[in-house]
Amino acid sequence: MSSFHFRETLDVVSANIPVSVALQSCSSNPVQPQQSPPEQVDATNSKNCLSGSLNAFQHGIDNIDITKPSCSIDLASTKSDGVSGRRNKNWPLVFPIDFDKFHPSLQQALEKKTPLLPRHQRALIQSLYETILSYSIYPTPSQFKSVAVALLTMYPHLGNGLTQHDAESYWRYRLSHKLRNKRRTEVRDLPEVEHMRMKNQLYKANKCQGTLKRKRPLGFGCPNFLPTRDKSEDDASINAHIQFMKSEVMKEQPNHDAINTSLKCTFADRRRYIFTDLPSSENVKELYPCLFTPNQLLEEFRRITEVDLPAVITVFLKKYAKSIIRLTADGAMISADNDTAIAEMAMASLPKLMKETLPSSTEITLNSENEPLLVLEQEDGVMAGRVMTGNVVLCKTSGYFQGLSVLFASCFVLNSFYHKKHRNTLNFIQKVIVQIDSISKSPFLTGVLKSLNTERSILEHLNT
């Protein structure tokens, strides 16, 4: 922090501001104008200000307001562009939304209470940006929220079917993105922006020298993340179950009911083993080979979360499948009438909606990642897949619906993280479809859900 204060002092010098003005902005008791000549400035005040600056440089400043640097904020009012000079008002308790300042076409669109066209959204964001700029160039999260709350209070239909929290997050993101872009272009030379840019550079330099924290496992907080062993089981019985499953899986017609019972009995020990020992997926498969089938991975996911994954996804797709297909097929109509076929089409389109592509077997030569990866390939005209970690095949799947469902479940079962090729898609399944940790949806996911709600409203209007 001390380096920032030092740089601010350099900014004062480089800006060719008289020393008396600089000292006046640094002092807690500004020097009053005097009748004496400039060369007779009060030496005591100068000495106190310079001494205070030196102490701050040596010991650091704990409470710097980065949006208003002590020696730079007054300099902003001297800039000729007039932008900085307008930021002299306190943030209002209720953010003002001035309808009269909107473009006439935007006013008409708001009065119709229909989803805004992209050009109307841009005009609305621009108008809000201009009002925000009169208060701050770096609004806080709570201030961004006050803008979103004021906007949605005046125009509730701009929520587009989202929950209040998601709608606020969406507009906060749009406004934050607007401010961020403007700080990179139009107002990048403002002292406050230069100050923040310098602080970010120092933060990145310090981050390279720090240590990274271990991420929280996906299933953390789920009902049965680390269950306790049943009182009827002990080490000997658990080992007997494991040996039974290893021998049973080798048979041509294994007893699936007995395997289910053994997997259920060893569930608590298996979860603790995966969480505590951090074994590789290859070691887990070697110890529990019966676990790595599509049905058993989905059942293990149900044990952990108490969620029937295929059923939850099916319910979601009954509501949004056609919207997903239309958004990824340039508005094309769906000819299939079978719900299962439509659901499969929607799951095939979901990665595209998330701006991702599922890799094919020809694109994957060596997978060095530890996160589960879904690799697709055509087998006899049917889309098949393999869920892999590294070069270990966990299980084979059939179709997009089963493939993505099993991929998602395997990440929870193995306490893994999402592979970078599937990150957006799996986050959408987790936070939007299954509603696990849904409160922390990213602005991107919130925007996608908003688009789905808008498309669904259009479809409902066409069908009436």
**Residue 458 has what pLDDT?**
85
**Residue 50 has what pLDDT?**
37
**Residue 437 has what pLDDT?**
86
pLDDT classification of 86: cutoffs 50, 70, 90: very low
Instruction: Give the Cα-Cα-Cα angle 25, 27, 32 (nearest 5 degrees).
Output: 80
- Could you read off the pLDDT of 145-165 as tens digits, one per residue? 999 999 999 999 998 888 888
pLDDT classification of 29: cutoffs 50, 70, 90: very low
Residue 308 has pLDDT above 70, yes or no: yes
Show the 3-state SS of the chain: CHHHHHHHHHHHHHCCCCHHHHHHHHCCCCCCCCCCCHHHCCHHHHHHHHHHHHHHHHHCCCCCCCCCCCCCHHHHCCCCCCCHHHCCCCCCCCCCCCHHHCCHHHHHHHHHCCCCCHHHHHHHHHHHHHHHHCCCCCCCHHHHHHHHHHHHHHCHHHHCCCCHHHHHHHHHHHHHHHHHHHHHCCCCCCHHHHHHHHHHHHHHHHHHHCCCCCCCCCCCCCCCCCCCCCCCCCHHHHHHHHHHHHHHCCCCCCCHHHHHHHHHHCHHHHHHHHHHHCCCHHHHHHHCHHHCCHHHHHHHHHHHHCCCHHHHHHHHHHHHHHHHHHHHCCCCCCCCCCHHHHHHHHHHHHHHHCCCCCCECCCCCCCCCCCCEEEEEEECCEEEEEEEECCEEEEEEEHHHHHHHHHHHHHHHCCCCCCCCCHHHHHHHHHHHCCCCHHHCCHHHHHHHHHHHHHHHHHHHHHC
- Could you read off the pLDDT of 269-301 as tens digits, one per residue? 999 999 888 899 999 999 999 999 999 999 999
The residue ranking higher by pLDDT, 134 or 198, is 134
Lowest mean pLDDT among 275-289, 330-344, 350-364: 330-344
Closest CA to 271 of 226, 231, 302, 237: 226
- Could you read off the pLDDT of 390-430 as tens digits, one per residue? 888 999 999 999 999 999 999 999 999 999 999 999 999 99
The residue ranking higher by pLDDT, 39 or 427, is 427
**Residue 160 has what pLDDT?**
84
Mean pLDDT of 334-354: 86
The terminus-to-terminus CA distance of the chain in angstroms comes to: 62
Tokens 């102490």 map to which residue?
Answer: 55
Sign of the alpha-carbon dihedral angle for 359, 360, 362, 366: positive
Residue 332 has pLDDT above 80, yes or no: no
The residue ranking higher by pLDDT, 337 or 310, is 310
Rounded to whole angstroms, the Cα distance separating 194 from 204 reads 16
Residue 32 has pLDDT above 80, yes or no: no
CA-to-CA separations, 49 to 7, 9, 181, 375, in angstroms, rounded = 16, 11, 36, 66
Residues 6+ apart with CB under 8 A from 188: 194
**Residue 52 has what pLDDT?**
46
The residue ranking higher by pLDDT, 16 or 114, is 114
**Residue 364 has what pLDDT?**
55
* Tokens, residue 342: 């439509």
CB-neighbour burial class of residue 428 (10 A; exposed 0-12, middle 13-18, buried 19+) = buried
The residue ranking higher by pLDDT, 111 or 3, is 111
| Highest-confidence segment of 90-94, 101-105, 313-317, 325-329 | 313-317
Rounded to whole angstroms, the Cα distance separating 114 from 116 reads 6
- Could you read off the pLDDT of 101-147 as tens digits, one per residue? 899 999 998 998 888 888 999 999 999 999 998 898 889 989 999 99
**Residue 207 has what pLDDT?**
57
**Residue 392 has what pLDDT?**
87
Phi, psi for residue 396 in degrees, rounded to 5 = -100, 145
Residues 6+ apart with CB under 8 A from 44: none
pTM to 2 decimals? Answer: 0.62
Q: Pairing state of beta strands 382-389 and 392-398?
A: antiparallel
